[in-house]
Amino acid sequence: MTNLLVEIVDAHDGLTRWNQPETVSASVHPNRTVHPSEGSAPMATQSLGYAVHVSDPVPISVPEPLPNGEGRTFQPISTTLVHGERDAVLVDPPFTADQIQEVTAWVAASGKNIIAIVATHGHGDHWFGDNEFATRFDAPVVATAGTIAVMHGNVEARPFAWDKLWPGQIPDAPVTAVTVPDNTLTLEGHDLHLVEVGHTDTEQTSVLHVPDLGLVVAGDALYNGAHMYIGESAGGGLDSWRDAISTVEALAPRHIVAGHKNKDLDDDATRVIAETRRYLDGAEAALKECSSATEFFHTMVDRHPGLPYGKTLLWVGAKTLYALREPGADPVAAAVGGWF
């Protein structure tokens, strides 16, 4: 029996109810986070946990509907707070003004002192809000060198993509992230490791590993209950993504927080890994079978009826990959054009 700080995540509103420490056994309900591992460092606190806020999908400013007639919306976005008794690390907060306001209130309500804001990868939806949080909570933004390089590329793409898709909704976002020695942070005596996993849904991605929680905050290396963005997976990208998943699996996590998740689902690592692999295998098979982006879109929707989120990203990826099949295709034009 161990004295733990237990959080119960409300699957209906994406918010976390913060409870007082209680005595629980090592086997806890799936919606209750936590477990300091045996043999923690001598100075480590006994209360270590994580909480997740899932921001609902936001509309995209493209009037043309998806091939199935639905309007275009983005993915749900997961923000993770890894915390000790006093301090916490905030991982992958969202990017639009309304989402930032909502998550800022959630973090403030936790009462934790934020010591760092972590970006797992360079896609702007997971870090364009970082400087807002850094200013509010007086904390540095931390990322790997590879992620920082991709961040700069996403800033350059803002006028052509991000700011057209969400006009007036994204704050100024200069790249202020810094690296830390050995890609490791320390939270009240517990090590948190940024593990580089390479190509997933973009280049040079990482995950945050918290060994004493059996936790991986996976960014976009794994998805949980949403269609996956595979638009950057041409030329062997799916195989590289599978290698990244194997790297995460080797960390032996019990809990995986996916950057895009259905908030009604738990964070069970075994299930999340298996379902992500199954989706990538299915996408690869459908790419071989289908002769057009539209056919691919309908095939994937039909084969995954339990995925209510991410159909826009499925369509964007499909348009991009099939555009790249055309002779002389420009990769940048194909990537940007996929959104419009």
Q: What is the pTM of this model?
A: 0.87
CA atoms within 13 A on the CB side of 228: 27
**pLDDT per residue rounded down to tens, the chain (340 residues):** 222 233 333 333 344 433 322 222 222 222 333 333 322 233 455 689 999 999 999 999 999 999 999 999 999 999 999 999 999 999 999 999 999 999 999 999 999 999 999 999 999 999 999 999 999 999 999 999 999 999 999 999 999 999 999 999 999 999 999 999 999 999 999 999 999 999 999 999 999 999 999 999 999 999 999 999 999 999 899 999 999 999 999 999 999 999 999 999 999 999 999 999 999 999 999 999 999 999 999 999 999 999 999 999 999 999 999 999 999 999 999 999 999 9
Distance, CA of 323 to CA of 319 (rounded, Å): 6
- Interior angle at CA 219, CA 3 and CA 181, nearest 5: 75
Query: Residue 45: its pLDDT value, please?
Result: 56
Q: How many residues does the chain have?
A: 340
Distance, CA of 3 to CA of 286 (rounded, Å): 49
Query: Residue 47: its pLDDT value, please?
Result: 86
Please give the C-alpha separations between residue 264 and each of 30, 267, 309, in angstroms, as whole numbers: 12, 10, 12
Nearest to 226 by CA among 29, 56, 103, 7: 56
CA atoms within 13 A on the CB side of 110: 32
Nearest to 319 by CA among 210, 222, 234, 226: 234
